[in-house]
Amino acid sequence: MNFEYSEKSKELQQRLISFIEAHVVPIEQEYITFQSATKNNWTRFPKIEVLKQKAKDAGLWNLFLPKDYGDLSPGLTNLEYAPLAEIMGRKIWVSEIFNCAAPDTGNMEVLAKYGDKAQKEQWLTPLMNGEIRSAFLMTEPEVASSDATNIETSIVLEGDEYVINGRKWWSSGAMDPNCKVAIVMGKSDPNAARHQQQSMVLVPMNAPGLEVVRPLSVFGYYDSPEGHAEIILKNVRVPKVNLILGEGRGFEIAQGRLGPGRIHHCMRLVGMAQYALELMSQRTLERATFGKKFHEYSSIRHEIAKSQCEIEQARLLTLSAADKMDKAGNKEAKDIIAMIKIIAPKMAQKVIDRAMQILGGKGVGPDTYLPHYFALARILRLADGPDEVHMYQLGKSCIKKYGNKQ
């Protein structure tokens, strides 16, 4: 399959790699040490803001918005952004340096696509400037949130204000000291049609009644400083103008938000897996047992070969999904988007596991990203819809497409 990249896209790939080599690699061990020492303190790595300014000055900023967003976009297609997401995914913490980190990217897309002028001025502009961060509050502990129509948080209009009550968890981004606003999904009309019951509303993090109950860890990792939080919303009041798009449009917004986000996640997963592959390949040249170097063992060569095949398969499938989104739109690309969401996290999990095995003690310790990446790959089999939901919908689509053919 031949994917066409513009000269601008090719140039950005090289500039991104050069920037990371020049500015990130030299302080990488400092970052790892800092995170290991302060992982539960919600303290930001001091050099992040310096690096963000350097990225801005270098024109490597807000690369994620597709070109149909006009002046807000750097002019790339989803296909052209995909390899950039992979490059950033190799060192997952660097995405913020280029203002391309989740959940901000998805929230910025929501505001850019669905927000009104006032909402864009108040929240989108500082987000795109990298001055603040944001959170996305959808998942709830009391219901199966893989079905978004189950959401129970209430959003009730009283006069000129919406009153919000509910409990959320896995609210990504909410622990960051710079998080100033959350997009909250809740139920505004329980009696409406099933997919018109939900709405999304902008809630400042300092709103009275919004309480961060606790941070949530993933296999012991808190993903600080942004983290994931459990949050109670008790009689939280926001102005009516904080409603996004309109009442009953929450499910529609959620679907629009998830398509590009899944591409970004999957390409970052490819980047993580590529990092793991390179790390284990290097290790085979460094270590020996029973008189033989690791690379001389057939079993290790087989593990590396399988990993290379699986990474390339996932990479090409994700690029194909991005290409279809660009040419046919998110709705037409839904089946292949489901495919990549099923394939990429499992692929990364397997490859990272092999790398940890080959690296031995170093592979499970704090000196590489491997353990953290393994945790990230595992949670991404749940985030943005669990495997089973994607397989259920994809299977349904396949049966509809092929089942009646004789």
Q: Which residues contact 337 (CB under 8 A, 6 or more apart)?
A: 259, 262, 263, 321, 325, 330
Output the pTM of the full model: 0.94
As given in the structure block, the two tokens for residue 109 are 């897309």
Question: Distance (Å, rounded) from C-alpha 13 to C-alpha 51?
Answer: 18
Nearest Cα to Cα of residue 332 among 319, 340, 321: 321
205-212: Cβ within 8 A, 24+ apart: 205/135, 205/174, 205/179, 205/180, 205/181, 206/180, 207/236, 207/237, 207/238, 208/236, 208/237, 209/164, 209/233, 209/234, 209/235, 209/236, 209/237, 210/182, 210/236, 212/174, 212/175
Q: What is the pLDDT of residue 98?
A: 97
Arch. (CATH architecture) of 251-401 = Up-down Bundle (1.20)
What is the chain's pLDDT, residue by residue, as a tens digit (406 residues)? 667 777 888 899 999 999 999 999 999 989 888 887 776 678 889 999 999 999 999 999 999 988 878 888 888 999 999 999 999 999 989 999 999 999 999 999 999 999 999 999 999 999 999 999 999 999 999 999 988 889 999 999 999 999 999 999 999 999 999 999 999 999 999 999 999 999 999 999 999 999 999 999 999 889 988 999 999 999 999 999 999 999 999 999 988 777 788 889 999 999 999 999 999 999 999 999 999 999 999 999 999 999 999 999 999 999 999 999 999 988 899 999 999 999 999 999 999 999 999 999 999 998 899 999 999 999 999 998 899 999 999 999 999 999 877 5
Q: In the chain, what are the domain boundaries?
A: 7-128, 133-247, 251-401
Question: Distance (Å, rounded) from C-alpha 208 to C-alpha 389?
Answer: 36
Q: What is the pLDDT of residue 9?
A: 86
Q: For the chain, give the longest Cα–Cα distance.
A: 79
Question: Distance (Å, rounded) from C-alpha 126 to C-alpha 115?
Answer: 14
Q: What is the 3-state secondary structure of 141-194?
A: CCCCCCCHHHCCCEEEEECCEEEEEEEEEEEECCCCCCEEEEEEEEECCCCCCH
Please count the CA atoms within 13 angstroms of the CA of 383 that sit on its side-chain side: 26
Q: Which amino acid is at 104?
A: D
Q: What is the pLDDT of residue 40?
A: 63
Please state which CATH number belongs to domain 7-128: 1.10.540.10
Q: What is the pLDDT of residue 72?
A: 83
Q: What is the pLDDT of residue 157?
A: 97
Nearest Cα to Cα of residue 109 among 164, 66, 50, 165: 66
Question: Distance (Å, rounded) from C-alpha 213 to C-alpha 59?
Answer: 39
- Token look-up 């595992």 returns 378
CB 156 within 8 A of CB 163: yes
CB 34 within 8 A of CB 45: yes
Question: Distance (Å, rounded) from C-alpha 325 to C-alpha 329?
Answer: 4
Mode of pairing for the β-strands spanning 228-239 and 210-215: antiparallel
Q: Which residues contact 296 (CB under 8 A, 6 or more apart)?
A: none
Question: Distance (Å, rounded) from C-alpha 166 to C-alpha 258?
Answer: 23
Question: Distance (Å, rounded) from C-alpha 335 to C-alpha 259?
Answer: 11
Q: How big is the chain by its Cα radius of gyration, in Å?
A: 22
Question: Distance (Å, rounded) from C-alpha 342 to C-alpha 339?
Answer: 5
- Report the alpha-carbon angle 219-225-230, nearest 5: 65
Q: What is the pLDDT of residue 254?
A: 87
Q: Any alpha helices (H) in 39-92, and if so which ranges?
A: 48-57, 78-89
Q: What single-letter DSSP state applies at residue 73?
A: S
At the topology level, CATH places domain 133-247 in Butyryl-CoA Dehydrogenase, subunit A; domain 2 (2.40.110)
Q: What is the pLDDT of residue 4?
A: 75
CB 236 within 8 A of CB 163: yes
Q: Which amino acid is at 397?
A: S
Question: Distance (Å, rounded) from C-alpha 70 to C-alpha 63?
Answer: 13
